[in-house]
Amino acid sequence: MTFTHTPVMMAEVLHCLAPRPGGIYVDGTLGGAGHARAVLERIGNDGLLIGIDQDPDAIENTRKILGDHRAEVRLFQDNFTALPRILSELGIPAVDGILLDLGLSFHQIRESGRGFSFQRNEALDMRMDPTRKTTAGEIVNRESAAELARIFKEYGEERWARRIAERIVRTRRAGSAAGIETTDQLAELVRDAIPGGRRPDNRIHPATRVFMALRIRVNRELERLQFFMDRIAAEADGAIFRTGGRLCVLAFHSLEDRIVKQQLKSMASPCTCPPGFPQCVCGRRPFMRLITRKPLRPGEAEIAANPMARSTRLRAAEKI
């Protein structure tokens, strides 16, 4: 198996996560383990890295490339929402840092054969965790036009969501029992469905948003992130972190970034009293300090070298 991925915003991640010798760190989205390896180099022989990824390819690759590190490494093929259970199984009450680098690895897009990209003709799968039930093909071939339109609009901000959804449903009715099975079929259908879809000078492929929306739906990406952030906030006011422990999240999609922003804000100022109250009566005290008031963005040099980094936003906070 080849596994290619260039970690994004490495210097900024290390600055915000500030891994210290002997610390316990969680990489909840191992991918190609680029960030994980850099964390390992900083935590020394006495540190512990807990690595999680829902994709078995990421776990297999990490096992290969991190084999020679002396710090302890524990790997789990799981969703990062399982972190509280994993920590309790390991008997670890709190950690020094958690990193989430959301979205897809380059390997998943280009090498996994799971239909994440319209640039390759593959089965419409799009599951990061291949043991989960629903594939992109099942969604495209089963959901109503209204639900497909909602997915394309909400997750992909696709202007022509309804048109594309209706075209899918018409094609299903007219076509074979197998329906729309491949990335090529779906990409061609989108091209035909939208005005100007076949113009040679389209700046981005007309199916870009539809593919992104389907992937977000298949993997329930926003729901999982919301659940994780809610758990972190709820766990006895951030008890999952040791004092000084840090949470760093790299988001690529504005909806992901919104979830992270809102949750970090409420951890840093959780008071729910109306603004006019003379004093706080809800008793909720801040338990995180924002390290980034505004999200950090990759520099021009990084974007030039790795255009996939372009839309990344990094937010971080520290347990007080």
Q: How far is the CB of 302 from ligand SAM (least distance, A)?
A: 14
Residue 51 touches ligand SAM, criterion: CB under 6 A: no
Residue 58 touches ligand SAM, criterion: CB under 6 A: yes
- Nearer of residues 107 and 319 to ligand SAM, judged by Cβ: 107
DSSP 113-176: -SS--TTS--BS---SSTTSS--HHHHHHHS-HHHHHHHHHHHH--TTHHHHHHHHHHHHHHS-
Q: Which residues pair with 246 in a beta bridge?
A: 97, 318
Residue 97 touches ligand SAM, criterion: CB under 6 A: no
Residue 103 touches ligand SAM, criterion: CB under 6 A: yes
How far is it, in rounded angstroms, from Cα 181 to Cα 46? 50
Residue 33 touches ligand SAM, criterion: CB under 6 A: yes
Are 71 and 43 in contact by the 8 Å Cβ rule? The answer is yes
Are 216 and 253 in contact by the 8 Å Cβ rule? The answer is yes
Among 19, 23, 34, 298, binds ligand SAM (CB under 6 A): 34
- Nearer of residues 102 and 247 to ligand SAM, judged by Cβ: 102
- Nearer of residues 190 and 259 to ligand SAM, judged by Cβ: 259
Part of the chain binding ligand SAM (CB under 6 A), chosen from 97-105, 131-139, 203-211, 280-288: 97-105
Among 23, 35, 193, 257, binds ligand SAM (CB under 6 A): 35
Edge-to-edge strand list for the sheet holding 95-101: 72-77, 48-53, 24-27, 95-101, 241-251, 313-319, 288-290
Say which residue the tokens 């422990």 belong to: 245
Part of the chain binding ligand SAM (CB under 6 A), chosen from 24-32, 114-122, 155-163, 311-319: 24-32
How far is it, in rounded angstroms, from Cα 117 to Cα 102? 17
Residue 80 touches ligand SAM, criterion: CB under 6 A: yes
Query: Residues in contact with ligand SAM, total (CB under 6 A)?
Result: 22
Residue 79 touches ligand SAM, criterion: CB under 6 A: yes
Part of the chain binding ligand SAM (CB under 6 A), chosen from 48-56, 114-122, 194-202, 298-306: 48-56
Q: How far is the CB of 181 from ligand SAM (least distance, A)?
A: 23
Nearest 5°: the CA angle 197, 199, 204 is: 70
- Nearer of residues 228 and 287 to ligand SAM, judged by Cβ: 228
Among 9, 50, 52, 95, binds ligand SAM (CB under 6 A): 52
How far is it, in rounded angstroms, from Cα 216 to Cα 222? 7
- Quote the radius of gyration of the chain (alpha carbons, Å): 21
161-174 vs 145-156: helix crossing angle, rounded to 10: 140
- Nearer of residues 161 and 214 to ligand SAM, judged by Cβ: 214
Residue 29 touches ligand SAM, criterion: CB under 6 A: yes
Residues found in the chain? 320
- For the segment 177-236, give every residue that binds ligand SAM (CB under 6 A): 224
Please name the residues in contact with 26: beta carbons below 8 A apart, sequence gap of 6 or more: 49, 50, 51, 52, 83, 95, 97, 98, 99
Residue 61 touches ligand SAM, criterion: CB under 6 A: no
Residue 31 touches ligand SAM, criterion: CB under 6 A: yes
Q: How far is the CB of 274 from ligand SAM (least distance, A)?
A: 35
Among 128, 186, 194, 314, binds ligand SAM (CB under 6 A): 128
How far is it, in rounded angstroms, from Cα 12 to Cα 15? 5
How far is it, in rounded angstroms, from Cα 131 to Cα 283? 44
The torsion angles phi and psi of 38, rounded to 5 degrees, stand at -65, -35
Residues forming the site for ligand SAM (CB under 6 A) = 5, 7, 29, 31-35, 52-55, 58, 79-80, 101-105, 128, 224
